[in-house]
Structure 1
Amino acid sequence: MTTYLKDLTQSIGYLEAQVVSLLGAKNLASMRGKGKLNMLYDP
């Protein structure tokens, strides 16, 4: 049972990493498109 949970959490973490990388790429592209002014406001 513990190995199943371990595999589950690993696959969830992998999916989350993919989503985060996709969102990050989209955010970078939109920031680049808007210009460098918005970079000053975004932390």
Structure 2
Amino acid sequence: MEKVAIVGCGAYMDSGYGCAGEWRCLKAAALGEGNIESPSQVLA
């Protein structure tokens, strides 16, 4: 199983909130949406 890493934007993470696009990426990965052809898993 492939591992997928989503890295937060440092400028926003230092302030305690993420950018708007970051939430969409995390949500899509958690729901299995997108074009990742190999089996993958989101790790916290």
Pair in the same fold by TM > 0.5: no
Which structure has more relative contact order (CA 8 Å, sep 6+)? It is: 2
Report the structure number with the largest CA radius of gyration: 1
Compare the two structures and name the one with the higher helix fraction: 1
Q: TM-score range, shorter-chain basis?
A: 0.3 to 0.5
TM-score (norm 2): 0.33
